[in-house]
Amino acid sequence: MKIALLGYGRMGKAIEKIAENRGHQIVARWDENSQNDPLAEADVAINFSVPSAAVSNIQAAFGHQVPVVCGTTGWLDAYETITQQAQAENCGFLYASNFSVGVNLFFALNQHLAKLMAPYPEYQASLEEIHHVHKLDAPSGTAITLAEGILKNDPRYSEWSLTAQQEHQLPIEALREPDVPGTHTVSYQSPIDTLEIRHEAHSREGFALGAVIAAEWLAGKSGIFSMNDVLNIKA
């Protein structure tokens, strides 16, 4: 399979290594300084660019009928525009806030736990995410996905907030520390005990491998998909 990398930073380089080890060919490498490599040769593009370049990168790939796997967060105000364009141009598009297989199982576990906890108002939910100091967005896309999973299944909360001060707001604490690939904790605290689920990434390889697996699955398809489709997780 021929892959275009849209964004050639740390994640792009990690994806390149895994993709080549799995027998794929990298035919384009785009970064902020160079977007001259040909997209038209690619069977699929993987976008891990900076947020400001995500939309134009995705649209460029669609212009060559190349399906896109996107892991960049911080651009989702344009998500509806991108999905509409993918459908109009009969292209494939798969966005995930996190491509780690473990994290996507964690997402499913989080939603199930939120359903179980909803009838017990004495347990107050909260989220904490820790990432490396170079991460541009806060909270992380993974934390937002976790929060949305709770909002969907627990009517006590109607929105998430980094500065939650009202009962209907689900608090998220976003911490930035050196050399942390990503840790996410969902807590339910009552006056007598605390229940937590936690995912800790040990390296970026899990994210990169998941993105390559998603690209392998998406190649040749059209439509809007998620990692639930790739992993056959029933929502």
Say whether 101-200 and 2-99+205-231 share the same fold. Answer: no
pLDDT reading at 89 higher than 80: yes
Catalytic residues: 131, 135
Which tokens sit at 136?
């541009």
Residue type (1 letter), 76: L
3 state SS of 205: helix
Task: Tell me the mean pLDDT in the region 197-208.
Answer: 90
Which tokens sit at 148?
């949305």
The string of pLDDT tens digits covering residues 140-191 is 888 999 999 999 999 999 999 998 789 899 999 999 988 787 899 999 999 9
Residue carrying the six token digits 């929060």: 147
* Phi, psi of 12, rounded to the nearest 5 degrees: -60, -40
**Alpha carbon 123 to chain centroid, angstroms:** 28
Q: C-alpha distances in angstroms, 122 versus 99, 163, 173, 193?
A: 33, 21, 21, 10
> Mean pLDDT for the chain?
93
Report pTM.
Answer: 0.79
What percent of the chain shows pLDDT beyond 70? 97
Which tokens sit at 228?
């639930």
Helix axis angle, 51-63 to 79-88, nearest 10°: 10
pLDDT of residue 180: 81
Query: What is the CATH number assigned to the segment(s) 2-99+205-231?
Result: 3.40.50.720
Please check whether the domain covering 101-200 is classified as CATH 3.30.360.10.
yes
Q: What's the farthest any 2 CA atoms get from each other in the chain? A: 60
User: CB-based burial of residue 177 (10 Å sphere; 0-12 exposed, 13-18 middle, 19+ buried)?
Assistant: exposed
The string of pLDDT tens digits covering residues 4-46 is 999 998 899 999 999 999 999 999 998 876 777 789 999 999 9
What percent of the chain shows pLDDT beyond 90? 77
**Alpha carbon 144 to chain centroid, angstroms:** 9
Residue carrying the six token digits 């007598």: 192
User: Where along the chain do its domains lie?
Assistant: 2-99+205-231, 101-200
